[in-house]
Each structure stands twice: as C-alpha cells, then as structure tokens.
Amino acid sequence: EPEVTQTPSHQVTQMGQEVILRCVPISNHLYFYWYRQILGQKVEFLVSFYNNEISEKSEIFDDQFSVERPDGSNFTLKIRSTKLEDSAMYFCASSVSGINYGYTFGSGTRLTVV
Amino acid sequence: GENVEQHPSTLSVQEGDSAVIKCTYSDSASNYFPWYKQELGKGPQLIIDIRSNVGEKKDQRIAVTLNKTAKHFSLHITETQPEDSAVYFCAARSTGNQFYFGTGTSLTVIP
C-alpha cells in the first residue's frame, strides 16, 4: 500500500535554530498538507499546498514557517527560528483530490526544541 | 471556524463488546467526516468516512452514523478485538481543504 514517508522521525534542535522537516507524498497525489499535534492536544492544520503554491494556511503558519516542493517528490516544512512552543509532532499528509477525500498521513516527525 | 468535540476521551471495553465514539461539530456547512485510527508511533490512518448526503456507512465491523440536523456523528465498532486498541480521531471538513479534528479517544480493548 502506498505510504507517505517522513524524515527524520525525531529531531532535537536548539531554540533559534532552523529545521527542515521532509516528506515524500504518495506519487499520484496532488494535494499536500502539514499538520501538527502538540502533546495531549488536537491535531491542528498548518498549511495545504497545491499546484506549487499554498492554497490555505492557518493562523499558526506565520512568517517563521515556509513550505516547498523542491523537486517532483519531496515536500518540506521549514521553521526558520524555532521556539520552545514549536515542540510537537508534525504530520505530513497527501490526497488525490482536495474535495471529499481523506488524507494519507505520514508517521510524523517529533520535533523537540530545547 | 469549525469546532469539533469528541467524547469520551478514554474508553475501555471487553473483547467482543461494542465501542461507540461520538463527535459533534459546529459548522452546518461541513460536508465530509472522516475517522482516523492512530497506533503508537504511527500517523493517523483513515478507517472510514461519511459524506453529508449519507446517514450511515458500514465497513465490516466499523460503522459511522451522521445526524446533520443535530450536527453529530458517531463511530461504532462491533465485536472489538485487541488490535482495535488505538487512539481514534474524528474530523470534519467545511469549505476549504483543512480538516478540524476532535481531541481523540483512547480505546483499550481488554482481552
């Protein structure tokens, strides 16, 4: 069964450092997403990406965040200057269509900012 | 925006019994409601979904019901097995692409 692959599985970084979280969506999917889950809290939407541009973003997705699809397979989330409160599980997801389709999620990257 | 509430937060059932998880949503424009199962160390996996023009959907031991008038939807798992133990999330999608998730239900099936 096709999978969404995320690397690394766990990242520890110093506060103020930049991190890049990587994702390889399912190959025939056209819509890509990042969500995060702070420990004990809801899964929260960050951003959706379609046709090489951001189609939707939440209030969480401020100027310190950016996404990129640098080639035909990778989809990355960059956090420019990490803060302690950025510590969370970050999930990448992809879907065939943007309407009325469930996502396929990756296994997540646990980001710990110290 | 949409607000999804989920109950209970934890649920323990004996193997073979049924489990029911309930969610409510606030936005009457929401039209797609998936359920995800998250096992330890893994990402959420879609297990069943329902669209707003359908009242009930079944897939083997799993069923989902939707009451649009009351704005609530429920997941029903029958004949539970130990491998059903996981965290279950409901979600709703309104206009736009993003999902709004519930807070999750940790289901434990006791052998």
pLDDT tens digits, A39-74: 888 899 999 999 899 999 999 999 999 999 988 789
pLDDT at residue B67 tops 70: yes
Retrieve residue B86's tokens: 């996981």
Residue with tokens 């710990």: A112
Q: Using a CB-CB distance cutoff of 8 angstroms, which residues of chain A are in contact with residue B101?
A: 42-44
Among A41, A55, A105, the residue with its CB nearest the CB of B45 is A105
**Residue of A37, A45, A61 lying closest to B43 (CA atoms):** A37
- Rounded Cα gap, residues A71 and A4, in angstroms: 16
Among A45, A91, A106, the residue with its CB nearest the CB of B98 is A45
Contact B36/A at CB under 8 A: yes
Q: What is the structure's pLDDT at A72?
A: 77
**Residue of A36, A33, A43, A5 lying closest to A98 (CA atoms):** A33
Among A58, A102, A107, the residue with its CB nearest the CB of B34 is A102
Residue B43 sits at the vertex; the CA angle it makes with B98 and A96, to the nearest 5 degrees, is 50
Instruction: Please indicate whether, in this complex, the C-beta atoms of B98 and A58 are within 8 angstroms of each other.
Output: yes
Q: What is the structure's pLDDT at A99?
A: 64
**Residue B1 pLDDT grade (very low, low, confident, very high; cuts 50, 70, 90):** confident
Query: In this structure, are strands A31-37 and A88-95 parallel, antiparallel, or unpaired?
Result: antiparallel
The whole-angstrom distance between B99's CA and the closest CA on chain A is 7
The whole-angstrom distance between A98's CA and the closest CA on chain B is 6
Q: Which residues contact A1 (CB under 8 A, 6 or more apart)?
A: none
pLDDT at residue B24 tops 90: yes
pLDDT at residue B29 tops 70: yes
